[in-house]
Amino acid sequence: MGDPMQKRKLGTSNLEVSALGLGCMGMSFSYGPPKDEGEMISLIHAAVDRGVTFFDTAEVYGPFTNELLLGKALPSVRQKVVIATKFGFNLNPDGSPGWQGLNSRPERIRQAAEGSLQRLNIDVIDLFYQHRVDPEVPIEDVAGTVKDLIQQGKVKHFGLSEAGVQTIRRAHAVQPVTALQSEYSLWWRKPEKEVIPVLEELGIGLVPYSPLGKGFLTGTIRATTDLGQSDFRSSLPRFTPEAMRANQAFVDLLAAIAQQKHATPAQIALAWLLAQKPWIVPIPGTTKLARLEENIAAVAIELTPADLRAIEAAASQAPIQGERYPEHLEKMTGR
């Protein structure tokens, strides 16, 4: 097996997790049709066997089906794992996919917590994130509600997702924020400008989602790839054939660096994130054992200052084209 999985602490909260977590969304939701439940339970167990202790889900994934999957997969290893889930959407009353806008009102947060506890088959949520900032509800009320849930023993840690720096500061003043989950990768580096310095100052961990650029940085997606209608990437500006052709130059440069390190582009992309700060814990998602093992092997890759400079040079030679989200989704971030 080689080196055991390294551990990292999310900020100054002392929440210790494996250096890489597992994003579970794609097992049930968003990347094409849901995968076979039995196979996904086996994959989650394989991750635990290989030292992964940090599992990411949300009420809205499905809705509900992804939490239910983890609720079946994880009880036997509950003592070893940290389970993160999220609240903040009004779900469709008929349980169909999607949502009807944001809702972080205190009663909705409490209702979401009870539902998640039941579906996940646990008695405490290790990390409870606000999925997106709700402009209608003061963040102090959100933080105060989660603080109450922590005092009641239903939640251990409070997190935010895709929040702006003022929101992070205001929330943290009411209930310390353990982690911010945000998109961060070699092809989405916006958090470096304002967010990462504030996290460093306040002692908050960063959990990057889409650390492999929603699959693009693995080098397996080409402009000719047909993603299919049930894959949400087909609606993203960066995944138009034109943008993919333009962005292929960056992936090619990444592949050249990977070859020198006897690694894959995905491993270099993950190792680069891990090298940025000791309190960064990426959560790549996968539904395949081979990919899981490839991702985990990235933890052992040491990038030298020269390697990091080469990656930086590649990034400046081939800037990424296209927005990460369509406008209506981008508007929900950074608030």
> In the prediction, which pLDDT does 2 show?
45
Residue 13 lies in a domain: yes
> In the prediction, which pLDDT does 3 show?
55
> In the prediction, which pLDDT does 18 show?
98
Following CA atoms 46, 50, 56, 57 in sequence, which dihedral angle do they give, to the nearest 10 degrees? 10
Catalytic residue among 31, 61, 129, 209: 61
Residue 2 lies in a domain: no
Structure tokens at 75: 């009880």
**Intra-chain end-to-end CA distance of the chain, in Å:** 43
Structure tokens at 305: 């200052």
Residue 35 lies in a domain: yes
Which domain, by its residues, includes 68? 7-330
Say whether 31 is catalytic.
no
Distance (Å, whole) CA 16 – CA 24: 19
Residue 238 lies in a domain: yes
Token look-up 């490839």 returns: 294
User: How many domains does the structure of the chain reveal?
Assistant: 1
Residue 55 lies in a domain: yes
3-state DSSP helix/strand/coil % of the chain, to nearest 5: 45, 15, 35
Residue 224 lies in a domain: yes
How many C-beta atoms surround the C-beta of residue 94 within 10 A? 5
3-state secondary structure of 117: helix
Residue 17 lies in a domain: yes
Distance (Å, whole) CA 165 – CA 110: 25
CATH of the domain at 56: 3.20.20.100
Structure tokens at 94: 């008929």
Residues 6+ apart with CB under 8 A from 220: none
Say what angle helices 65-73 and 106-120 make with each other, to 10 degrees.
Answer: 40
Contact 247, 238 (CB under 8 A): yes
Residue 204 lies in a domain: yes
Distance (Å, whole) CA 305 – CA 272: 11
How many C-beta atoms surround the C-beta of residue 176 within 10 A? 18
Q: What is the residue-level pLDDT of the chain in tens, covering all 335 positions?
A: 445 799 999 989 999 999 999 999 999 988 888 999 999 999 999 999 999 999 999 999 999 999 999 999 999 999 999 999 999 999 988 888 888 899 999 999 999 999 999 999 999 999 999 999 999 999 999 999 999 999 999 999 999 999 999 999 999 999 999 999 999 999 999 999 999 999 999 999 999 999 999 999 998 888 888 888 889 999 999 999 999 998 999 999 999 999 999 999 999 999 999 999 999 999 999 999 999 999 999 999 999 999 999 999 999 998 899 999 999 999 999 99
> In the prediction, which pLDDT does 108 show?
97
Residues 6+ apart with CB under 8 A from 49: none
Say what angle helices 165-174 and 139-151 make with each other, to 10 degrees.
Answer: 40
